[in-house]
């Protein structure tokens, strides 16, 4: 919306212009310059409307509001019998004053109402009334389409904007459409004192009444295409997402004029000789302007060239038949030939029933093409839009290296009606949505539409950064430059920059849906507090204090009474550095893994889920840049406060957390990207649910993968390194510990309980176990001990983080130059010595 300068005059009862210097003769009703902005009485507006004359020109350009005076009403020019209609856009309280004043000025008045407020008394003051819609809302009163349709219904030539309708005074598209319909639009000079004068609202845009209105399917309000396009087809009122056509998606996402379509026409088949199938295809083409339900080709985002497929639900609801399958296969095969990544936007109701088994076979056919693309080491990003269901969900929609989704998109395999009819149950709210899929670990992230272009560009840059050797020099000038991608997104350029890696300002994506996860968090928090209150030991505040002192053992469930007894154990001396390190490693103020990621990693993009069950908050994984090197980062995160620690299970991973890390390791291996692991856990979570989901299997799979991972792996223990839960991220080429980190086969409380049947001897156990960083280094288990500075890490986090970053960068520089076979041999020999 554009702000414009307004020029005002005020008229006396006799029609004279009031100015700083006194009274001047008012201009007659003569044609005015088109750009004139006037503030004057309703009677004059009525007279000019009745005479169908242009509005009077300004006589004075005054900036001092104190110069304006209230004026009495009078019929003025409208007394000749003409009664132009005025539409008063105001709520009841304002309308009670405005309607009589407009009638007194010579207007035939029209009020507005909604069905839920159709009995309001102010409506009796108007000559006629027009219904705006079903239910009252501020958004409805300032909706361009609703106001213009109301004005057209009542035949209004003047619209007075008050209250919630006032924002329309600055909407250029609304004013241009009103001008095209010969409707004058006014706003009050002062909202609290409308009689002070009225200002004609103008726009520099020429009168325009073309283009259809488009209704939001969520709130029902209508908007013009231009305003929707500028907002990425997100409803400006309710923030609902409108479905985009393939053309709209191309224009919204890609660099201007960069799309080149491939395989536009592919011959249709009718394997079932389905009655009227070809006729329906022709009708769909005529209605949508599309050849089929998917368009394929190449394009650029921020200069990054890639192959793209966009499904369009306007054509047969985006259903997948033989032509859709063929076009998607050709897309991936040509991408292999030209060494291009692929991005596919899915929008489909599933298989095309009219093609029967042939439609089903497309799932297998496309999967083979995607496998060939993956074998070439090229990235594939899948973007799920509303709706993505059926055979498309069960094939290429869920086969991406990275799977993104738009908010609230319908995502599922079986239709909801089929599920209800099968299990005879009502489905929960939010079932089969993008948020549901994220919570259950099925997708990597939900991305707002306005952020999607930048997110895809940065993910492509990170994934392709380590694959430059497979491309010719002419194709690779921009693909590995991080800062340049960012600059190209902001400014665009004909000659795209070459990258020097830098920070990426991309918002971290939320990993939890607000409803279900919040309820689960509240239940878990209350459960833990209740458990301690039942034992008579603590309140919630005491639990917080215990966590701050490092006295709560999340893995083994040490009670606070046990923890409080530690200080009284005989034989613990000041020289027991191991126990001191345990306490420091558990200190609630110690920087967690996310704090180190913020300090170490530029442009970190978190990727969620194990693609099978859930997204474990105890393990954070994603991609980013460390010192110009694209890396995969996997970290164990305890949480920065009590609620966060509970949500992340105190840093004790579930099986789905380890399976998420395994997935990211395999992804890093595919793209030749080093892996950096940050370890900080008391141990893998030991609970019935974890055992049911295969906790031991998940850890074993991680260890096996790390043993053979064909990329460098660097691991740093930041705090606690407890048992196999820590080792699952520490089978690495280089392993370091921070100065006050600890590493052990299990917690000292567990050690003391098993061997001595006395948990209070945990400090003594810490000394016996040799779990401090210095002792682990002395045994050759870790390669380096990283100084935390003059004090523990929580007292100088910047120094500690800088030392970790320096070590990681030096290790990566060394390891990335090593041949793969030598890397694997050295890794195996390292652990064979113990």
- Residues at the binding site for Zn(2+) are 216, 219, 235, 238
Instruction: Report the distance separating Cα 112 and Cα 94, nearest Å.
Output: 12
Q: Which tokens go with 4?
A: 């414009």
Largest alpha-carbon pair distance within the chain?
Answer: 109
Q: Strand pairing partners for 716?
A: 678, 736
Q: Which tokens go with 659?
A: 């399976």
With the C-alpha atoms ordered 554, 559, 561, 565, is the resulting torsion angle positive or negative? negative
Name the pairing type of β-strands 675-681 and 734-738: unpaired
Residues of the binding site: 216, 219, 235, 238
Instruction: Report the distance separating Cα 32 and Cα 318, nearest Å.
Output: 55
Cis, peptide link before residue 609, omega less than 30° from 0: no
With the C-alpha atoms ordered 25, 29, 34, 35, is the resulting torsion angle positive or negative? positive
| Percent helix, strand and coil across the chain, each to the nearest 5 | 45, 20, 40
Residue 464 region by backbone torsions, left for phi larger than 0, else alpha for psi between -120 and 50, else beta:
alpha
**H/E/C letters for each residue in 607-661?**
CCCCCCCCCCCCEEEEEEEECCEEEEEEEECCCCCHHHHHHCHHHCCCHHHHHHH
Q: Which tokens go with 665?
A: 């390791």
Residue 474 neighbours by CB under 8 Å, 6+ apart: none
The secondary element (H helix, E strand) that includes residue 445 is strand 445-446
Instruction: Determine how many CB atoms are found less than 10 A away from the CB of residue 107.
Output: 29
The secondary element (H helix, E strand) that includes residue 217 is none
Instruction: Report the distance separating Cα 762 and Cα 569, nearest Å.
Output: 9
Q: Which tokens go with 474?
A: 């002419």
Instruction: Report the distance separating Cα 50 and Cα 444, nearest Å.
Output: 63
């Amino acid at each position: 919306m554009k702000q414009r300068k307004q020029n005002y005059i005020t008229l006396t009862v006799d029609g004279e212009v009031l100015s700083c210097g006194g009274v001047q003769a008012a201009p007659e009703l003569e044609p005015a310059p088109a750009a004139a902005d006037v503030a004057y009485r309703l009677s004059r507006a009525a007279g000019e409307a009745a005479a169908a004359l242009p509005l009077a020109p300004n006589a004075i350009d005054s900036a001092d509001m104190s110069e304006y005076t209230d004026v009495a009403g009078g019929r003025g020019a409208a007394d000749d019998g003409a009664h132009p209609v005025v539409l008063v856009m105001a709520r009841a309280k304002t309308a009670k004053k405005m309607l009589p004043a407009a009638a007194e000025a010579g207007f035939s008045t029209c009020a507005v109402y909604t069905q839920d407020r159709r009995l309001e008394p102010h409506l009796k003051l108007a000559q006629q009334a027009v219904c705006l819609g079903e239910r009252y809302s501020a958004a409805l009163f300032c909706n361009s389409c609703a106001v213009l349709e109301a004005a057209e219904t009542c035949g209004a030539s003047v619209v007075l904007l008050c209250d919630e309708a006032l924002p329309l005074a600055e909407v250029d598209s609304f004013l241009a459409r009103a001008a095209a319909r010969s409707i004058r639009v006014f706003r009050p000079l002062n909202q609290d004192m409308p009689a002070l004068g009225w200002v004609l609202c103008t726009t520099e845009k020429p009168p325009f009444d073309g283009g259809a209105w488009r209704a939001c399917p969520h709130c029902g309000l209508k908007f013009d295409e231009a305003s929707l396009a500028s907002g990425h087809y997100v409803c400006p009122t309710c923030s609902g997402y409108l479905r985009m056509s393939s053309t709209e998606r191309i224009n919204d996402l890609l660099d201007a004029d960069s799309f080149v379509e491939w395989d536009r026409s592919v011959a249709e088949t009718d394997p079932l000789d389905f009655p009227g199938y070809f006729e329906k295809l022709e009708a769909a083409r005529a209605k949508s302007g599309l050849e089929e339900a998917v368009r394929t080709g190449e394009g650029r985002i921020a200069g990054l060239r890639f192959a793209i497929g966009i499904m369009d639900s306007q054509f047969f609801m985006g259903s997948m038949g033989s032509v859709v399958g063929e076009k998607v296969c050709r897309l991936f095969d040509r991408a292999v030939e030209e060494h291009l990544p692929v991005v596919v936007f899915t929008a489909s109701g599933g298989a095309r029933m009219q093609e029967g088994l042939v439609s089903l076979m497309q799932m297998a056919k496309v999967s083979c093409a995607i496998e060939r693309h993956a074998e070439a080491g090229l990235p594939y990003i899948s973007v799920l839009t509303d709706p993505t269901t059926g055979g498309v969900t069960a094939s290429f929609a869920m086969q991406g290296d990275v799977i993104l989704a738009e908010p609230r998109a319908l995502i599922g395999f079986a239709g909801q009606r089929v599920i209800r009819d099968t299990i005879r149950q009502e489905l929960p709210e939010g079932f089969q949505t993008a948020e549901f899929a994220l919570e259950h670990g099925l997708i990597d992230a939900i991305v707002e539409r306005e952020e999607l272009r930048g997110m895809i560009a940065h993910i492509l840059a990170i994934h392709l950064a380590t694959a430059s050797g497979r491309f010719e020099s002419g194709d690779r000038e921009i693909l590995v430059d991080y800062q340049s991608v960012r600059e190209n997104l902001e400014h665009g350029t004909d000659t795209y920059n070459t990258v020097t890696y830098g920070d990426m300002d991309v918002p971290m994506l939320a990993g939890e849906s607000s409803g279900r996860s919040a309820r689960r968090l509240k239940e878990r928090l209350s459960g833990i507090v209740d458990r301690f209150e039942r034992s008579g030991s603590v309140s919630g505040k005491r639990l917080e204090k215990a966590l701050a002192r490092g006295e709560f053992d999340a893995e083994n469930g040490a009670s606070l009474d046990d923890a409080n007894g530690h200080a009284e154990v005989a034989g613990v001396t000041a020289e027991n550095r191991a126990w001191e390190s345990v306490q420091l490693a558990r200190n609630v103020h110690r920087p967690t893994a996310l704090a180190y990621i913020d300090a170490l990693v530029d442009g970190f993009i978190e990727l969620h889920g194990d693609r099978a069950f859930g997204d474990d908050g105890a393990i954070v994984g994603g991609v980013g840049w460390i010192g110009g090197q694209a890396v995969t980062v996997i970290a164990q995160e305890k949480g920065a406060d009590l609620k966060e620690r509970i949500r992340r299970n105190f840093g004790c991973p579930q099986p789905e957390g380890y399976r998420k890390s395994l997935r990211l390791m395999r992804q890093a291996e595919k793209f030749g990207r080093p892996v950096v692991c940050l370890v900080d856990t008391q141990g893998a979570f030991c609970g019935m649910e974890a055992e049911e989901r295969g906790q031991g299997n998940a850890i074993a799979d991680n260890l096996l993968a790390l043993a053979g991972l064909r990329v460098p792996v660097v691991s740093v223990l930041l705090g606690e390194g407890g048992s196999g839960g820590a080792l699952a991220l520490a089978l690495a080429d280089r392993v370091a510990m921070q100065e006050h980190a600890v590493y052990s086969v299990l917690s000292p409380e567990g050690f003391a309980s098993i061997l001595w049947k006395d948990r209070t001897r945990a400090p003594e156990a810490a000394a016996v176990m040799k779990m401090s960083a210095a002792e682990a280094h002395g045994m050759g288990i870790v390669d380096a001990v990283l100084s935390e500075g003059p004090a523990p890490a929580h007292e100088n986090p910047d120094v500690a983080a800088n030392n970790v970053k320096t070590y990681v960068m030096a290790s990566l520089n060394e390891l990335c130059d090593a041949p793969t076979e030598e890397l694997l041999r050295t890794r195996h020999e390292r652990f064979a010595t113990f």
